[in-house]
């Protein structure tokens, strides 16, 4: 891909992003939670078109270069799109097979409301640490915890915030996490050196989050026993609740522990849930299949509808009806559509040199250590907004600052840690980022609703800057420490 005759200035590079933010502001104001069901995609494509026009007219960027960059971007998230579709099928089958209702049924009885938010964060952190995947954690145990939280009277924002905070802690420090491996690889930092160094900022951030969730849970007024019993009773009446159904999450955990690829794990977990649908919930399958087809044909049709489309079951409770409703793979198509449009914008900005232009703007503040780290954090967050993908943001942030950190005599582990603090955990806070889109779709909670409650996710980058200001365990001048050896 040929480079532009000259890179756009930081101010020019900001034009498409400012245009996007302005369009999204009015779009969200008009459409509300439905803004990302079509209008948001138009905003992203319009910003990409503006970017391409500026690059082609003023900087002599060829259309073939823009097209190639967009193609590379979309290809880079193709596996993530497949995972997203499988997650849609998995969340539907786990619900309709009775796996999630069983987890909710027993969870409501076992988890004390005062410690629920704290428990949510800890459980998701542990699962994500073992799996290395926040997406898998949220799509499985996260959905069940959302149901338990509703039964105990918590708002969607608090529950989703606790789930996401815990899931992204584990994703960030797990050696099985692709973002952790990527951040260490891009910056040429040994993996476990990177993980150990991240603990300096990550553990305090988690402790702050746990404190907030603990206090919030302690002051929460739980739903009365009648409401909880209404949830559990409604689930027991509508689904066949059985401890045997917990074999599905147990076997899924074993597959994850054996490091089976994510796509294979999610597919096998979905397949196990489909078997459980036929064994434990045949009446529900017949209901979904309709009265036209009888016997096995009706159940087969019900299974296909559960995997691919929207389903609804009447329980006599409006909140419970909403909880057990599923969208299947079809419910993920708006998200897939939005991610593809976001990749178009990221590719256009890359080809036109606007990402490099924005990086130049941040590099003006790299003369002091705190300014260097703050610039890295700002760049990572800005790239999450501009490219809408955490993987691209990690690669670009690490690549942009690698030589600067060397020139300033800073260790590569400082760059790798700051990159993760800035990119991995904040990606889920951007409504049009692939992570924000996925988690809001899976949990059924708009990004802007859970954003204020994702304490860990916005404390982490601030903690990275604070530690840099204090200079704690930061070596400059090319000195080596025992951890680097």
State how far the Cα of 366 lies from the Cα of 368, in Å rounded to an integer.
6
More confident: 248 or 395: 248
Q: How confident is the model at residue 5 (pLDDT cuts 50, 70, 90)?
A: low
Asked if residue 259 has pLDDT above 80, the reply is: no
151-160, 181-190, 361-370: range with highest mean pLDDT: 151-160
**Residue of 237, 227, 239 lying closest to 152 (CA atoms):** 227
Query: Which of the two residues, 398 and 218, has the higher pLDDT score?
Result: 218
pLDDT band at 36 (very low <50, low <70, confident <90, very high): low
* Nearest alpha-carbon partner for 460 in 411, 427, 412: 427
* CA dist., res. 79 & res. 345, Å (int): 19
Close Cβ partners of 465 (under 8 Å, ≥ 6 residues apart): 370, 373, 374, 377
What local confidence, expressed as pLDDT, does residue 485 receive?
Answer: 32
Q: How far is CA 287 from CA 306, 308, 318, 457, 463, in A?
A: 11, 16, 19, 42, 52
The pLDDT value recorded for residue 467 is 92
What pLDDT does residue 480 have? Answer: 44
Given pLDDT bands bounded at 50, 70 and 90, which one contains residue 133?
confident
For residue 9 the two structure tokens come to 């200035």
Q: Is the pLDDT of residue 388 over 50?
A: yes
112 contacts: CB under 8 Å, gap ≥ 6: none
Average pLDDT, the chain: 81
What is the DSSP-derived secondary structure letter of residue 463?
H
Who contacts 341 (Cβ-Cβ below 8 Å, separation ≥6)? 40, 41, 44, 45, 48
pLDDT band at residue 13 under the 50/70/90 scheme: confident
pLDDT in the model for residue 165: 95
Unique residue bearing structure tokens 């016997």: 295
pLDDT above 70 as % of the chain: 87
Position with higher pLDDT, 83 vs 424: 424
> How far is C-alpha 293 from the geometric centre of its chain's CA atoms?
40
CA separation, residue 117 to residues 131, 204, 215 (Å): 21, 18, 9
**Average pLDDT for 469-479:** 73
pLDDT at site 479: 46
Q: What is the pLDDT of residue 276?
A: 92
- pLDDT, tens digit (0-9, with 9 covering 90-100), for 19-28: 887 887 787 6
Question: Residue 54's pLDDT band (boundaries 50, 70, 90)?
Answer: very high
pLDDT in tens, 110-120: 777 888 899 88
Note the Cα 431 to chain centre separation in Å. Answer: 10
* Residue 482: pLDDT band with limits 50, 70, 90: very low
| Amino acid 483: pLDDT | 41
- The model's confidence at residue 142, banded by pLDDT at 50, 70 and 90, is confident
Average pLDDT over residues 256-260: 73
Query: What mean pLDDT comes out for the span 32-61?
Result: 83
Q: Domain boundaries in the chain?
A: 10-76+332-484, 79-330
304 φ/ψ angles, rounded to the nearest 5 degrees: -65, -40
Q: Would the pLDDT of 296 be above 50?
A: yes
In the predicted structure, residue 4 carries a pLDDT above the cut 80: no
């Amino acid at each position: 891909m040929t480079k532009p005759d000259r890179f756009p200035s930081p101010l020019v590079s900001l034009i498409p992003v400012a245009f996007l933010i302005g369009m999204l502001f009015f779009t969200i104001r008009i459409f509300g939670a439905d803004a990302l069901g079509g209008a948001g995609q138009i905003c992203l494509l319009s910003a990409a078109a503006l970017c391409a026009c500026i690059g082609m007219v003023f900087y002599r960027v060829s259309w073939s270069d823009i097209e190639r960059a967009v193609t590379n971007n979309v290809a880079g998230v193709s596996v993530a799109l497949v995972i997203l579709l499988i997650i849609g099928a998995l969340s539907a089958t786990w619900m309709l097979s009775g796996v999630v209702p069983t987890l909710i049924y027993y969870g409501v009885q076992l988890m004390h409301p005062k410690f629920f938010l704290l428990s949510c964060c800890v459980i998701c952190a542990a699962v994500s640490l073992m799996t290395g995947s926040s997406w898998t954690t949220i799509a499985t145990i996260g959905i069940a915890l959302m149901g338990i939280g509703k039964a105990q009277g918590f708002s969607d924002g608090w529950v989703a915030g606790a789930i996401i905070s815990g899931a992204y802690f584990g994703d960030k420090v797990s050696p099985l996490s692709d973002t952790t491996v990527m951040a260490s690889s891009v910056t040429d930092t040994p993996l476990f050196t990177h993980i150990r160094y991240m603990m300096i900022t990550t553990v305090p951030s988690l402790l702050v989050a746990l404190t907030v969730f603990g206090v919030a849970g302690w002051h929460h007024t739980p739903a009365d026993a009648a409401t909880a019993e209404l949830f559990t009773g409604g689930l027991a009446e509508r689904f066949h609740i059985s401890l045997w159904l917990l074999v599905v999450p147990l076997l899924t955990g074993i597959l994850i522990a054996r490091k089976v690829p994510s796509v294979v794990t999610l597919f096998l977990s979905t397949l196990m849930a489909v078997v459980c649908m036929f064994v434990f919930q045949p009446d529900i399958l017949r209901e979904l299949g309709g009265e036209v087809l009888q016997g096995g044909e009706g159940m087969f049709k019900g299974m296909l509808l559960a995997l691919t489309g929207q389903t609804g079951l009447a329980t006599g409770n409006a909140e419970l009806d909403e909880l057990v409703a599923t969208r299947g793979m079809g419910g993920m198509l708006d998200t897939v559509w939005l991610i593809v449009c976001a990749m178009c914008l990221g590719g256009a900005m890359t080809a036109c040199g606007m990402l490099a232009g924005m990086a130049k703007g941040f590099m003006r503040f790299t003369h002091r250590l705190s300014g260097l780290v703050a610039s890295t954090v700002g760049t990572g967050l800005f790239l999450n907004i501009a490219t809408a993908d955490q993987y691209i943001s990690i690669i670009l942030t690490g690549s942009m600052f690698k030589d600067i950190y060397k020139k300033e005599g800073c260790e590569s582990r400082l760059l790798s840690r700051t990159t993760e603090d800035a990119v991995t955990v904040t990606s889920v806070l951007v409504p049009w980022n692939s992570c924000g889109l996925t988690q809001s779709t899976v949990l059924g909670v708009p990004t802007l609703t859970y954003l204020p409650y994702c304490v860990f996710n916005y404390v982490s980058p601030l903690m990275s800057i604070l530690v840099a200001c204090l200079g704690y365990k930061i070596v400059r001048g090319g000195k080596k420490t025992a951890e680097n050896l």
